[in-house]
Structure 1
Amino acid sequence: MPARAASLPADDVRAPAPGHAPRILITGFGRFPGAPANPSGPLARALARSRRLGVARAEALVLPTLWDEAARFAQTLDRLDPDIVLMVGLAGRRSRVGVETLGRCATGLFPDAGRRRPAARRLAAGGAAPDVIGCAAAGAPLLHALRQAGVPACGSRDAGRYVCNALAYAAYGWARRRGRIAVFIHIPRPHPGRLSAARLETGLEAVLVGLLAQHRAGRLTAAPGR
């Protein structure tokens, strides 16, 4: 049976009100098994302080890497009501930054930071939940911005089966229901000789500038390819 995918018309992103200062939520994660130090948390905090965001109001949220935290992320978004959501997570085995084009209604067996495993193989119970939800942002310009900043990047159709994917699935569904912008980006572990933390920060600042441009335009276009 083909996967059930959620879709959104290309012009269904909420247009900003005149004089409205965009609200940006930037999330990272804390530690998890195999990653006692997670660079996505400090990176999220640094990005929220970026001077390149202009009048936008940015808030950083470092989430514990817990299945339960991802399950209630839509409620967190309802409470904070951001216009733009940039989620950052660590993919230590990757060599390039990945713009995640899909969130999948699927879990894996890897334990979270509390050593808990999900009870079910699907994130949402019942057959009505879509199997996949597409990224709620135009991805090709984001890939271009990353590469222009000297950051190796690609579009990814597989965010894994861990808490990162669960967060992306929740945020993409919320953003499409509300007409907002949301994207999950996986980063490799920074390395001074390959991809430094400073270079990653510069690249993701460029992503935020691009997301603000999409917000101002009030349009959502195709997700990125590879």
Structure 2
Amino acid sequence: MRPASAPRILVTGFGSFPGMPRNPTERLAATLAAAPPPGVDVLRLDTHWSVVETLPPVAARYGAVIMFGVAGRETMIRYERIATCHAGPQLDAAGGCAPPLTRTRFTAFDVPELVREAREAGFPVRLSHSAGTYVCNAGYGAALCGNPRALFVHVPPTTARGPLGDAGLVRHARWLIDTVMDELLPRTNRVL
């Protein structure tokens, strides 16, 4: 059980977009929202470039932000260290074009350590140094602008079962939320 004064975490997933009519992170967010872990708020984001403007003030209200997005060609879960200032020409789900992105931003999380811990827990996770050039990257940069304690997690399209199936991704998300929450809590406030 967490103390009442525990920091809150925002968890996000994205909706569909051109080329990905069924985004597994939308299902992941819906599952988490139906039974959120203590101290967690869940937000489904539209896959729109406008996250660049809307996300910084939202992210600033939380102790940490964990964002989930899909990487269509990926075969593992990927923890992103960096949001770059590069945006591609792809249209978002509303047909909008990318705004100019001004800064490369790095997360305050020790991502290599989180990758190591995730692997030890049995999850197929790898470190990544590029969140791409689409709305995921722009959203990650926006979250980092509002809160340096943000982490972007790319997941592959889901498999039928196993660690990359819908249930496996939910187990991973719950594990990651617990790990991040434990990191945020001062040692004196932890409830054993």
What interval of TM-score do these two structures reach, taking the shorter chain for normalisation?
A: 0.7 to 0.9
Distance 2:116 2:123 in 1: 10
Distance 1:163 1:133 in 2: 15
Within 5 Å, give how 1:70-219 maps onto structure 2.
70-78=52-60, 81-119=61-99, 122-124=100-102, 130=103, 132-176=104-148, 181-192=149-160, 195-217=164-186
Q: Deviations over 1:73-113 (max 9, x none)?
A: 113334xx111211000101100111000011121101100
Gaps of 5+ in 1: 1-17, 125-129, 219-226
Tell me how far 1:140 sits from its aligned partner: 3.1
Distance 2:116 2:176 in 1: 9
What is the aligned residue count? 184
Distance 1:161 1:202 in 2: 28
- Please say if 1:57 is aligned against 2:42: no
Q: Is the 8 A contact 1:136 1:175 kept in 2?
A: no
What SS class does the counterpart of residue 75 from structure 2 fall into? coil
Distance 1:107 1:143 in 2: 26
Residues 118/34 of structure 1: CA separation in 2 closer, same or farther (3 Å cut): same
Q: How high is the sequence identity, in percent, across the aligned residues?
A: 32
Gaps of 5+ in 2: 188-192
Q: Deviations over 1:104-150 (max 9, x none)?
A: 1121101100112125xx313xxxxx3x2111322234223432343
Please report the RMSD computed on the Cα atoms of aligned residues, expressed in angstroms. 2.1
Tell me how far 1:50 sits from its aligned partner: 5.3
Q: Is the 8 A contact 2:51 2:138 kept in 1?
A: no
Distance 1:202 1:192 in 2: 15
Distance 1:48 1:84 in 2: 17
Q: Is the 8 A contact 1:102 1:157 kept in 2?
A: yes
